[in-house]
Amino acid sequence: MGVVGVVTWLTSASAVGVAVFTAYLYSSLPPGVTEPRKVFIIKGFVRTFYFLGWVHQKMGFGVRRLRPPRRASHPNLEVTDASFDGVRVRVYKPRAQKTATSTGSKMAGLMWFHGGGWVLGSIDECDGQVGRIANRSGAVVVSVEYRLAPEHKFPVPFEDCLTATQHFLQHAAEFGVDPTRIGVAGTSAGGNLAAAVALRLKKEDTLPPLKLQALVYPALQAFDFQTPSYTRGRRYFVLLHPNAMMTFWIRYLNNNLSLVDMFSNNGHTTALRKSRFASYVDQHFLGHSVPRSTPNEDVSVDLPDDLKDILNPYFSPLMAEDADLSGLPDTYVTVCGTDVLRDDGIMYAKRLEMAGVQVRLARYPSGFHGVMSFASKPFYLEVGKQMEQDLATYLRDHL
């Protein structure tokens, strides 16, 4: 084959490749998404990155993190980097003195834990978003640079978030913040960390109680990977495939990636199927007309050492006992129609409500996991923008 032949062959092969890829992307776009062209572009990028990541992993490399974008400018905020008992944080303080939410001269405060599956993300990457939330809610927001898995597995990321939150509760006055008006919030893995910190601080009676928890498409359990939303995610997803979510859980737990297959058919919790833990992740809570399963008290509630944190509520908050849920602060939960984690959020909201907690469940049927990252120019989706505004409004009104 001459040079011309090779070039022609390569061109045709790439054209076919692109056509197949495009057809695949269109056919797997979830029904119900709005602005399909933009979602198509996002999904194209994500699939390409997944593919490169997969090749990278097959070649035996570990986690590679991309360099974060530069810091946004925040004309109406005073932004300072600090260390809270050894944990790096960035504090965003609205300059406008007369905010609707200031009590006397004191302001409300919010701890912010970024998403990224406990593995990715940083305070730089969520800088724009946190700035907008501080500005719109009028609260002093503390964004936490918790250490990441797999280098730092559970409980390190959780403990970093807890340490920073305790520090802020103790030193609120130094930031002009009323310590009785501090909440915790986060997206995805950050929602997991916020829920875990709220559960842990409930047991702390020397500090003022948290004012609220705001959980944006949170990851709350690693017990059942066959909830309806996980099952639907095998066919329809934009940013987060079920295997990617299980991989994130495993990196946070023990970094033994050979567990993915076992997780995907729930082999890791087969022995606990009649335990009380199974009744905490019950489809009954999704509003389906199935009665809540009754656990068999004789069933063992143990897992092997390398898996046992799956039952730890600071690792998976849905594993908390009903008694641990009651008395939690006011709660805001965001769920998206296209998200393997949708049912985690709905079940937690339902269980909290049954435990007597004030809960608002905000549903975005046309949204997908991660959509709140697309909330501002130059590239945004209406549903992402709306979600961020609704969150800021809730924070402004409830902190």
Residues that bind ligand NAG (CB under 6 A): 76, 94, 96, 99, 135, 138, 256, 258-259, 306
The rounded distance, in Å, linking the Cα atoms of 200 and 317 is 10
Q: Which two tokens stand for residue 286?
A: 């999704």
Q: How far apart are the C-alpha atoms of 104 and 121, rounded to whole Å?
A: 36
Active site residue 74: no
Task: Output 12 or 76, the one with its CB closest to ligand NAG.
Answer: 76
The smaller minimum CB distance to ligand NAG, of residues 260 and 286, is found at 260
| H-only helix segments in 298-354 | 322-325, 342-354
339 is catalytic: yes
Minimal distance in Å, beta carbon 96 to ligand NAG? 4
In terms of phi and psi (left: phi > 0; alpha: psi -120 to 50; beta: otherwise), the region of 60 is left
d(CA 48, CA 56): 12
Closer residue to ligand NAG (CB): 101 or 227 = 101
Catalytic residue among 178, 339, 343, 344: 339
CB of 100 to ligand NAG, least distance (A): 8
Q: Provide the b/e sequence for 157-175 (b: ≥16 CB within 10 Å).
A: bbbbbbbbbbbbbeebeeb
User: Half-sphere exposure of residue 97, counting CA atoms within 13 Å on the CB side?
Assistant: 2
d(CA 11, CA 21): 15
Of the listed 188, 316, 366, 373, which one is catalytic? 188
Selecting among 74, 114, 268, 369, the annotated active-site residue is 369
SS3 label, residue 202: coil
Give catalytic status of residue 369 as yes or no: yes
* 287 or 304: CB nearest ligand NAG: 304
Nearer to ligand NAG, 120 or 259 (CB): 259
Active site residue ranges:
188, 339, 369
